[in-house]
Chains A and B, each alone.
Chain A
Amino acid sequence: MAKVLVVTSGKGGVGKTTSTAALGAALAQAGEKVVVVDFDVGLRNLDLVLGAERRVVFDLINVVQGVAKLPQALIRDKRLETLWLLPASQTRDKDALTEEGVAKVIAELREKFDWIICDSPAGIERGAILAMRHADEAVIVTNPEVSSVRDSDRIIGMLDAKTVRAEKGEGIKKHLLITRYDAARASRGEMLSIDDVLEILTTPLLGIIPESEEVLRASNVGSPVTLSNRLSAPARAYTDAARRLKGEEISVSIPSSKMRLFDKLFGRRAA
């Protein structure tokens, strides 16, 4: 049965689009049929992160408005056969997305895919609510930083109030994905620790993505990090997170700082 997943955060720039691409690719690499849907109307970027920016012809709004049929707007990934993209439009008219239109598109996608991953825009406005509206599960992307944690708390409240499942009293399954985690800084008490964030947000942990230059490198070349360097630390963390989404029980290991006592005393950091 198809699952609709929203990747959301409230705050911008924490890694929603990167995480959508990486989780989508990791699930597709595991043989699942996946579509990633960009809900960031006017500021689409999922196409760019996936390296499909020059292949966009029709978009979500065209489908919602009936200008194009869904199959015309879907773009198949060139590397992964079972990964598809439904891009957002670059038009500034955000109101073009309607509640009914989105419901119809999601229902149609449910028939064709195992996973429908909705990349939410930042904020708590209409676009973010439409992205989460039909979700069965949510991935809340959080940086270990005060403003991100606060906004995540707000978004969690909205997931429990404004989604179709919440309104029906079924509840929505939530997963916390902590990104840009720097183990060395956390161990020095300079960054909120995983335990701090979990205690404050009381949401089950899906994974911890370490701060890594691989993430920027992947977006530079338009490839999800799980494809561009599948053995790198962030790629493995995303792959494990995707397996947890599929229901596998893998324990989350907290990345440890590679600092030895000597380095610690003299303020040196390992690479």
Chain B
Amino acid sequence: MNVFKFLKRRGSAPIARERLQILLAHERRANSQPDLLSILRDEIMAVVAKHISLEADKIQVRMERGAPVSTLAVDIEIPNQFELLVAGAA
């Protein structure tokens, strides 16, 4: 019976290997993502802060992955009387 079992059953290692290859390809991409977002966040913030004074926690940058295209959403909270806060207005 062992003879047939040996002939019939292939080990599970190839499955492990394939699952890992797919998973790690995805995770490596995902792990490099936060860096890109924080770079974008810092640079966008620097540009906006040239004109309006901002607090660091009032800006949010999100990347949404979609089927045909992905979107980058930037939310910046600006105080209502922002004219008063124009950087270097004095």
Contacts and interface: CB of A to CB of B under 8 A. Distances in A.
Do A and B originate from a single complex?
Answer: yes
Interface of A: 145-146, 149-150, 153-154, 157, 186, 188-193, 196, 200, 264-267
Interface residues of B, number: 19
B17 interface: yes
Given A196-B17, A266-B3, A267-B2, A190 B11 contact: yes
A267 B6 contact: yes
B20 interface: yes
11 contacts: A145-B16, A146-B19, A150-B27, A153-B24, A154-B27, A157-B31, A190-B13, A192-B17, A196-B16, A200-B20, A267-B5
Contacts, number: 48
A188 B14 CA distance: 11
B39 to A, nearest CB: 14
B17 A189 contact: no
B12 interface: yes
Contacts of B14: 189
B12 A189 contact: yes
A214 to B, nearest CB: 25
B65 interface: no
Contacts of A192: 13, 16-17
Contacts of B17: 192, 196, 200
B10 interface: yes
Contact of B31 (A149, A154, A264, A265): A154
> Which 7 pairs between the two chains have the least Cβ-Cβ distance?
A189-B11, A267-B2, A190-B11, A196-B17, A189-B13, A146-B16, A153-B24
B8 interface: no
B67 interface: no
Nearest to B3: A265
A266 B7 CA distance: 11
